[in-house]
Amino acid sequence: MERLLKGMQRFKDTVFHEKQSFFQSLSEGQNPRALFITCSDSRVVPTLITQTEPGELFVLRNAGNIIPPYLASNGGEEATIEYAIGVLHVKHIIVCGHSSCGAIDHLLSGEVDHSDNHIVSQWLAYAESAKQITEALEPDNNEQRLELTIRNNVRMQLKHIETYPCVAKAIAKKELDLHGWYYCMETGDIDVFINTSVNTATA
Ligand SMILES: [Zn+2]
């Protein structure tokens, strides 16, 4: 905790001090470029891997970058998506999976069935289809199985997002693009493997 407290002070004394007018301007409101949905994993830092500033990304994070279908859980994910589309009018939704994802690894190993992980197990059930699609494709080894499932999970969660009426409406009006990314932490590469492209120029 000491490291975090020192970091807070250093932020105020250096980063904030040097860009004080910029940070103060943020208090006037936000107009983010995109809703960025990714895993809670500490090794994935959205603003770092996209080199964006405060105010540019509206971020939603959870274990496995999972979005339950509309009305399936009535939780924070639904509220965040409705706010991003209905109030902030974001033009892009990005779902970004990542290599070595522990959530997807748990999904594949079945270790989430232990009673201590009851809620984790329920949560990862929203990604079960991704696992089944991967098994149907008969990957050669566990490494390939994990990457395929991470990618299939991104694809599946984007399908869930399309079940939200506000999202479906914005897509129909050509006001919203959906994107699927795979971030490889070993190489720093981001593979943009899904891109509906209507508003790419405004990203
Ligand atoms: Zn993860």
Q: What is the pLDDT of residues 87-130, one digit of tens each?
A: 999 999 999 999 999 999 999 998 655 566 688 889 999 999 99
Q: Kindly give the distance from the C-alpha atom of residue 102 to the centroid of ligand 1, in angstroms, as a whole number.
A: 5
Q: Kindly give the distance from the C-alpha atom of residue 173 to the centroid of ligand 1, in angstroms, as a whole number.
A: 32
Could you tell me the residue ranges of all domains in the chain? 1-30, 31-202
Percent of the chain's residues with pLDDT above 90: 89
Contact of 33 with 56, CB cutoff 8 Å: yes
Chain position carrying tokens 């706010």:
83
Contact of 99 with 185, CB cutoff 8 Å: yes
Q: pTM for this structure?
A: 0.94
Q: Kindly give the distance from the C-alpha atom of residue 6 to the centroid of ligand 1, in angstroms, as a whole number.
A: 28
Distance CA 109, CA 49 (A): 28
Q: Which fold is adopted by the domain 31-202?
A: Beta-carbonic Anhydrase; Chain A (3.40.1050)
Q: Kindly give the distance from the C-alpha atom of residue 198 to the centroid of ligand 1, in angstroms, as a whole number.
A: 28
DSSP codes of every residue in 136-190: HT--SSHHHHHHHHHHHHHHHHHHHHTTSHHHHHHHHTT--EEEEEEE-TTT--E
CB-count exposure of residue 195 (10 Å: 0-12, 13-18, 19+): middle
Q: What is the pLDDT of residues 148-160, one digit of tens each?
A: 999 999 999 999 9
Chain position carrying tokens 């098994």:
135
Q: Kindly give the distance from the C-alpha atom of residue 129 to the centroid of ligand 1, in angstroms, as a whole number.
A: 17
Q: Kindly give the distance from the C-alpha atom of residue 202 to the centroid of ligand 1, in angstroms, as a whole number.
A: 28
Distance CA 21, CA 168 (A): 38
Q: Kindly give the distance from the C-alpha atom of residue 166 to the centroid of ligand 1, in angstroms, as a whole number.
A: 27
- For Cα atoms 166, 73, 81, give the angle at the middle one, nearest 5 degrees: 30
Distance CA 168, CA 162 (A): 6
Please report the pLDDT score of residue 4 as a whole number.
Answer: 97
Q: Kindly give the distance from the C-alpha atom of residue 33 to the centroid of ligand 1, in angstroms, as a whole number.
A: 23
Q: Kindly give the distance from the C-alpha atom of residue 116 to the centroid of ligand 1, in angstroms, as a whole number.
A: 19
Binning pLDDT at 50, 70 and 90, where does residue 51 land?
A: very high
Contact of 64 with 120, CB cutoff 8 Å: no
